[in-house]
Structure 1
């Protein structure tokens, strides 16, 4: 498609957008009385309007039924999480038995590492990517130290080549081969939070397992954003937060995946809790832990139903839309945003550098832009003029054109505000 940087062209794209109606399903903040252009769905998604009804239902049941809500609510609380299995499995490409909801992201990754990081004297190293999200770095270092290893020896970071913003796929594969029989675990982010680079999960998983290691993924920026086939790609485990692209609310519950081949392996260590115990015998209060055969067997505590309610509202919306339709719009609107950025760069004689890969298969709903020659004042101008975006040091703005609620006219209008901001600072 040949793009045009005009309002009329953007409106035509919106007129042809089959997902345009979902924009009205969300609540937008306002700045100076005007609805914002929202680019931070990669940090916190907007609130779906339908969410309130799901939360109110739980609150009403709590008021009317109190403890009896566990079994007699319209959506009984004791099996509330089971309603996620079918829609969530479609989002991440899994069997329904392979997914669960529980805790928060880093907690779930810690629990997964209890099972899948079992270092030996020879095989103890973990491969991760350079500049992973800090929480992952803290988690991996603490796990390594817990097992008595020095992070300097046990953690292998795959680095970017000098002068490059993204990690080369061949460098990931070669590093796995080089570490070889010392490798215990590969644990990476499926989408790098800073650059928006999407990694080849299928190929990296195979390479890690060929080396004799387990392979897991932090899908904080992947779930609800990229095409995933976790079951078919043979991923050992994964976890993700729900509050970014899946719009479940600040700090809300996490999702987790455990491949079915691990479900019946009772020799795998895990931290046990009663909500992971055999569902049919849970209330017998037995002293011996008998895990559920499935991802639910990794659950620990009673589930926070009030937190799950907004998440359920969101995954049911995803089920209506379907990931193929989301990805189709994602690729088009992200490409249009990149085009607008380059056009504005020409008009203002600027020096923008898009550090997100240009290949659609290597990026998703994010464009990270290095604003050479511009400072924090430009970001402040954008925010003051109704563009809610994200600043990362030293001089990068991250723009996430989420397909469920961002419009093509938003992309055009952002370009005009960006141009005005640059011109006002010259």
Structure 2
């Protein structure tokens, strides 16, 4: 598509957008009575208008049923997670048996590493991306120490080449192959939170398996953002949060994926709890853990009903949209249009004030552009916020803008770039 830098063109794209009406399903924050143009869904998604009614239904169940709500009412809590599993499966490309909503992201990462990071004297190393989200770094470091290894010896971080901002797939694959005989686990983010790079997950998975390692992913920035085929790609395990692109509220419930090829492996360790016990035998209260079938067997604590209700509300909107495929098509256009407009801003300014470090290739990014502001970065970000453009700031000079196809429009993107240009002219005295 040939883009145009004018409001009429952006509005024409919105008129042609079959998903445009979905923005009316969300509540936008306001400043001085005016809604923000919200481009921060990579950090916290907007609230679905239906979220309150989903929570209210469970509050009513609690009010009317009390403890009987576990087994009575229109959605008994004992089985409520099953209502979400089929919807979740469509988000990440899995079977319903392979996914389960539970806990929070880093808790689930630890629980899954208990099962799938099983170091031996020969194989004890973990490969991950340099600059992974700090929580992942801390989790991996602590797991390595728990097993008696020094992170300096056991963790291999793959970094971009000098002068580059993102990783080359060939470098990742070469690092995996080069450490194959000592490699226990390959653990990457699906999309890097800082740069917005979407890693070649199928290629990484194949390389890890060819090296004899287990392969897992943190999908915090990928689930609900880009098309995933966890089952078909043969990924061993994954986990994700639901509060970014999946709009399930601050600190929303996490999800896990465990490939069905591991279901019958009785040698896998896990930290067990009552809710992961065989559902048909759970209330016998017997000693000796017998896991429930599938990913549900990794549950520890009982169902988190209210967080699941919030997640349920958003998942139903994904279902209404047709799940990921149509959203992805719009997302590619939205992000490409933003990229085009940022380039236009630089051309008007006469120099590269804004350097996009997210990959230019659509296949290597989702709904996010990470932009280095050469001059006056924080002042420009603050001015965007003051002008009702709410993105995300990352030190020392990166502005992340995330046009989400569920609720952002082409006019949102155009207006953002237009205000950015105005602000830039006001705040920048070029020093080049």
Provide the TM-score with structure 2 as the length reference: 0.98
Contact residue 13 and residue 408 of structure 1 kept, 8 A: yes
Give the aligned partner of residue 346 of structure 1: 347
Q: What's 1:149 paired with?
A: 149
1:198–1:364 Cα contact (<8 Å) kept: yes
CA offsets 1:141-189 (integer angstroms, 9 cap, x no match)? 0000000000000000001000000000000000001111100000010
What is the CA–CA distance in structure 1 between the aligned matches of 2:419 and 2:284, rounded to whole Å?
Answer: 63
- Aligned pairs (5 A) from 1:294-373: 294-321=294-321, 322-351=323-352, 352-373=354-375
Query: Residues of 2 paired with 1:111 and 1:232: CA distance?
Result: 23
The gaps in structure 2 that reach 5 residues or longer are none
Secondary structure of 1:279's aligned partner = coil
**TM-score, with length taken from structure 1:** 0.99
Pairwise CA distance, 1:266: 1.4
Q: Match for residue 393 of structure 2?
A: 391
CA distance in 2 between counterparts of 1:419 and 1:15 reads 25
CA deviation vs aligned residue, 1:103-148 (integer Å, no higher than 9, x gap) = 0000000000000001011100000001000000000000000000
Structure 2: distance between partners of 1:5 and 1:384: 23
Residues 12-411 of structure 1: pairs in structure 2 closer than 5 A:
12-321=12-321, 322-351=323-352, 352-411=354-413
* Separation in structure 2 between the aligned mates of residue 317 and residue 280 of structure 1, nearest angstrom: 32
Give the distance between the partners of 1:199 and 1:282, measured in 2 at CA.
40
Paired residue secondary structure (1:266): coil
Give the Cα–Cα distance (whole angstroms) in 1 for the partners of residues 317 and 279 of structure 2.
28
Aligned partners of 1:161 and 1:207: how far apart in 2?
20
SS in 2 for 1:100: strand
Count of residues in correspondence between the two structures? 426
8 A contact 1:31–1:385 mirrored in 2: no
Q: Could you tell me how far apart the structure 1 residues matched to 2:87 and 2:371 are?
A: 34
1:32 Cα deviation (Å)? 2.2
Report if aligned partners of 2:377, 2:398 keep a CA contact under 8 Å in 1: no
Q: Is the 8 A contact 1:187 1:215 kept in 2?
A: yes
SS in 2 for 1:412: helix
Cα distance between partner residues in 2 of 1:320 and 1:91: 13
**TM-fit CA distance, 1:80:** 0.4
Q: Partners in 2 of 1:219 and 1:375 — Cα distance? A: 29
Provide the C-alpha distance between the structure 1 equivalents of 2:248 and 2:73, rounded to a whole number of angstroms. 21
Distance 2:377 2:87 in 1: 43
Quote the residue 2:418 is aligned against.
Answer: 416
Secondary structure (helix, strand or coil) at the match of 1:231 reads helix
Deviations 1:221-270 (A, max 9, x none): 01000110000000000000000000000001100000001111111000
CA distance in 2, matches of 1:203, 1:227: 15
Distance 2:187 2:236 in 1: 10
C-alpha separation between the residues in 2 aligned to 1:104 and 1:156? 26
Asked whether the 8 Å contact 2:191–2:197 carries over to 1, the reply is yes
Partner Cα distance (1:291, 1:85) in 2: 18
In structure 1, the gaps of 5 or more residues are none
What's the Cα RMSD here?
A: 0.7
The structural deviation recorded for 1:350 is 4.0
Q: Could you tell me how far apart the structure 1 residues matched to 2:297 and 2:263 are?
A: 8
SS in structure 2 of the partner of residue 238 of structure 1: strand
SS at match of 2:59: helix
Asked if 1 retains the 8 angstrom alpha-carbon contact of 2:276 and 2:297, the reply is yes
